[in-house]
């Protein structure tokens, strides 16, 4: 089973600032099958990024993903008020066991 | 637009079986590329994949719950279901159902989630 470690646990930033979130895998993720989700309180997760770097339908271009192998990054270029939330990475490798990272909370400084 | 809706008891007693159903509307559960899954989230904690099922009935379970989980599909009702046996308080969580459009794509469509509390 691939273990995903997200850092930092909490990111305190101001609107307009750049956010950089990290996701590290315990072994290489096949075919960059790595996704990022955003979750707000009381809501289901929303898919932001798939294939490590492709934005899902309707996701603003201030969200970008990068990385391969074991190291992945989600970048929010300029934080909008609605971007303060918890972000999870997930690997959906060809192996049946899907796993999520522990999450990074982006909070208002 | 495809929608998923979880349903089932919100309270389950310890040692009993948790049973939830996900009803799919606005699309067919029998699509030959779709996978359907269950994910849970204990209060204040992160996400845990429970398992997935293909419309044909092929199932895939997470290692930590594999011995207690059964996921099934009912194509006639456009539903799929989760059963988790011998529950304890640690199974208290919001349970989500979700869809993957093919095996090389993540969960792109989620239900709103349903809170299940395990308590006597």
Of B47, B60, B61, the CB nearest to A88: B47
pLDDT band at B31 (very low <50, low <70, confident <90, very high): confident
The answer to whether B18 touches B116, Cβ cutoff 8 Å, is yes
Chain B positions touching A50 (Cβ under 8 A) are 105-106, 108
* A-to-B residue pairs, Cβ atoms closer than 8 angstroms: 60
Of B46, B98, B111, the CB nearest to A100: B46
Question: Which of B5, B106, B114 to mutate to probe the A interface, most A CBs <10 Å?
Answer: B106
Please give the average per-residue pLDDT across A87-107, as a whole number: 90
In 3D, which of B88, B1, B79, B84 has the Cα closest to residue B39? B84
Distance from CA of A7 to the nearest CA of B (A): 14
Chain B positions touching A1 (Cβ under 8 A) are 63
**B76-102 confidence digits (pLDDT tens):** 999 999 999 999 999 999 999 999 988
Please give the average per-residue pLDDT across B28-56, as a whole number: 93
Q: Is B89 helix (H, G, I), strand (E, B) or coil?
A: helix
Query: Which phi-psi region, left, alpha or beta, contains residue A103 (left: φ > 0; alpha: ψ -120 to 50)?
Result: left
């Amino acid at each position: 089973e691939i273990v995903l470690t997200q850092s930092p646990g909490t990111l305190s930033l101001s609107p307009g600032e750049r956010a950089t979130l990290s996701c590290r895998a315990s072994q290489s993720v096949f075919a960059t099958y790595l996704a990022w989700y955003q979750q707000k309180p009381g809501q289901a997760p929303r898919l932001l990024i798939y294939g490590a770097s492709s934005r899902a339908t309707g996701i603003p271009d201030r969200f970008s993903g990068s990385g391969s192998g074991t190291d992945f990054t989600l970048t929010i270029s300029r934080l909008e008020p609605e971007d303060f939330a918890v972000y999870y990475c997930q690997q959906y490798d060809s192996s049946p066991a899907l796993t999520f990272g522990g999450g990074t909370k982006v909070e208002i400084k | 637009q495809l929608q998923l809706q979880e349903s089932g008891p919100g309270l389950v007693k310890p040692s009993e079986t948790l049973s939830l159903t996900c009803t799919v509307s606005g699309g067919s559960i029998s699509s030959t590329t779709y996978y359907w899954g269950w994910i849970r989230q204990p209060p204040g904690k992160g996400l845990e994949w429970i398992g997935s099922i293909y419309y044909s009935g092929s199932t895939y379970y997470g290692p930590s719950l594999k011995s207690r989980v059964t996921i099934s599909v009912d194509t006639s009702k456009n539903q799929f279901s989760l059963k988790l046996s011998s529950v304890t308080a640690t199974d208290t969580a919001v349970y989500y159902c979700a869809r993957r459009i093919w095996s090389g794509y993540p969960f792109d469509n989620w239900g709103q989630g349903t809170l299940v509390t395990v308590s006597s």
